[in-house]
Structure 1
Amino acid sequence: MSGLDALPPLREVIAAHGLRARKALGQNFLLDLNLTAKIARQAGDLSRCDVLEVGPGPGGLTRGLLAEGARHVLAVEKDARCLPALQEIAAACPGRLTVLNGDALAIDPLEHLTPPIRVVANLPYNIGTELLVRWLTPPDWPPFWQSLTLMFQREVAERIVAQPGGKAYGRLALLASWRADARIVMTLPPDAFTPPPKVSSAVVHLTALPAPRFPADAKTLERVVAMAFNQRRKMLRAALRGLAPDIEDRLIAAGIKPTDRAETVSLEQFCALARTLKP
């Protein structure tokens, strides 16, 4: 029996340490170790990778990552109540798990991990989107991570992989597709979690591209996309009027009709528009 196999079931761990999920921290615990192992496998072969996990809670996914052979796991947990349970896992896998009590938005993973690095996490609902945007928009590319395997509310997951023409298509889809390949690899019903959330969840796997799909200045592209989708019901000549006095000419030069709306414009067209606007 391995050290992980000797650990008690997660329900016993939660009871022993008084780990009632807190809504303020966006916590919904996944207790089925078969499911956490399946999520870990979606990240691919982990035996030669370090793994960043955000919001491990009582450690269900942490166990899955270690069981699937992760070289080293950095588990960043804001809730200090979870630390004793995570330290029990660390004791069962000497040298393979580092637990940090802190805010994932304020921690530099490169201080604790050695590339290649993959990120695998059941992200807290309240910071999931912000973390994804940060990971997709670093100052330099390629990023510190090879891939992201992340759980979101299903609605958010669908926005990440959306294609032009649909209501889900927007800033997240464009940021993701510009620098990564993204796909939904799992869906989970509310009753898979404790406590059950009000919505279904989905796991998205993103693989970093070696370079952005189309050339564009990152800050310019982000600004164009943000303005376009902040007023998505307006024609682009109106929504983007503040970018340049000759915005109609620039739209036409990028192959976009001034009367188009943001949800119909492709990533390639947005990148072309950003190139016409770069100072």
Structure 2
Amino acid sequence: MGAVELPPLREVIARHGLDARRSLGQHFLLDPNLTARIARQAGELGGRHVVEVGPGPGGLTRALLASPAGSVTAVEVDRRAVAAITELRAAAPDRLRIVEADALALDLSTLVPAPRQIVANLPYNIASPLLIGWLRQAAAWERFTLMFQEEVADRICAAPDTPAYGRLSVLAQWLCVTEFRLRIPPAAFVPPPKVWSAVVVLTPRPWQPEPALFAAMERLTAAAFGQRRKMLRGSLKPLGGEALLARADIAGERRAETLSVAEFDRLARLLSSAAAA
């Protein structure tokens, strides 16, 4: 970032009336040491084009601009935050782009060329839907470095047969290598949330499913985990139940949380093949 001296983030927040709004899931990170640490979790950023969702007053944006990233595109729906982030253009006029839009309504991969990454302190209220949408096009991205409520981070990285293991675990781990990196206390944020947060790094696997296979996995996991207490022969009945499980050599008495990601993959491929037949 250039030699322009930037004002303290608290001053930026005050000047733009940028009080965090619960309706937008906003909790701001102001500690530059912490935001720099989060940016480092993304690995080598030299020449990469980074998309940040929900930059708020720009704490993490500053850290990303201080990295060797080729460009930073900030996607923000809150006009107050857009005005605050715009001030950073003076320090990085050629590397910072600001998009005022709802990230849920955008195909972020169209905003920047490859190699591309997403690095973000996600708004809590839309974090899971955002991630599932990005997983549908994981092949377009080199890496996701994302902050969630710790409960969501635990679900993303959970192992089979643990309380946190569920649909999000299967989808994320099927498509990406998931790494739980940092726990961050409530006191690090303004205003402090009621829960801890955590940074997860997701690196897409070399292979990615065709849309039909992804759709089959979504249907499968929705049915399997929609009624967790049921045996699979019951929860998967609308999808072929016993016959599907027999073809996959999986006992119908088992429950969804006991299946490995590889077993879900086997079921999804059989389901997809049956739908195509």
TM-score by length of 2: 0.94
Number of the residue aligned with 2:189: 193
Kindly report which structure 2 residues correspond to 1:122-201, keeping only aligned pairs within 5 A, or say none.
Answer: 122-138=121-137, 142=139, 144-201=140-197
**8 Å contact from structure 2 (residues 145, 202) kept in 1:** yes
- How far has the Cα of 1:221 moved from its partner? 1.5
Q: Deviations over 1:134-181 (max 9, x none)?
A: 01123xx62x21100000000000000011001110111111111110
Distance 1:252 1:110 in 2: 39
For the pair 1:272 / 2:257, whether they are aligned, the reply is no
Residue of structure 1 equivalent to 2:96: 97
SS of 2:142's partner is strand
- Paired residue secondary structure (1:219): helix
Q: Which segments of 5 or more consecutive residues in structure 1 lack a partner in the other structure? A: none
Corresponding residue SS for 1:88? helix
- Assess if the C-alpha contact under 8 Å between 1:50 and 1:118 holds in 2: yes
**Structure 2 residue 3 is the aligned partner of structure 1 residue 3:** yes
- The one-letter code matched in structure 2 to 1:148 is F
How far apart are the structure 2 equivalents of 1:68 and 1:162? 31
- Tell me how far 1:255 sits from its aligned partner: 2.5
Map 1:1-279; keep pairs closer than 5 Å: 2-3=2-3, 6-138=5-137, 142=139, 144-212=140-208, 217-244=213-240, 247-278=241-272, 279=275
Tell me by how many angstroms 1:16 deviates. 1.7
CA distance in 2, matches of 1:110, 1:239: 35
Listed as ranges, the gaps of 5+ residues in structure 2 are: none
| In 2: Cα distance, 1:51 partner to 1:137 partner | 18
1:220 Cα deviation from its structure 2 partner:
1.1
SS at match of 1:98: strand
CA shift digits 1:67-97 (9 cap, x unpaired): 1121101100100011222111111112100
Deviations 1:10-62 (A, max 9, x none): 11111122111011100000010110010000001111100000000000000
Residue 274 of structure 1 and its aligned partner are, at CA, apart by 2.0
CA RMSD across the alignment: 1.8
Indicate how the Cα distance of structure 1 residues 223 and 34 shifts in structure 2: closer, same or farther if over 3 A, else same: same
Alpha carbons 2:153, 2:198 under 8 Å: kept: yes
* TM-score normalised by L of structure 1: 0.93
Q: Which 4+ stretches in 1 moved above 6 angstroms?
A: none
- Distance 1:164-1:110 versus aligned 2 partners, 3 A rule: closer
- Tell me which protein shows more helix as a share of its residues: 2
Is this contact kept in 1: 2:109–2:141, CA < 8 A? no
| Distance in 2 (alpha carbons) for counterparts of 1:150 and 1:188 | 12
> Is the 2:55–2:76 Cα contact (8 Å) retained in structure 1?
yes
Q: Are 2:158 and 2:169, in contact at CA under 8 Å, matched by a contact in 1?
A: yes
Number of residue pairs the alignment of both structures matches: 273
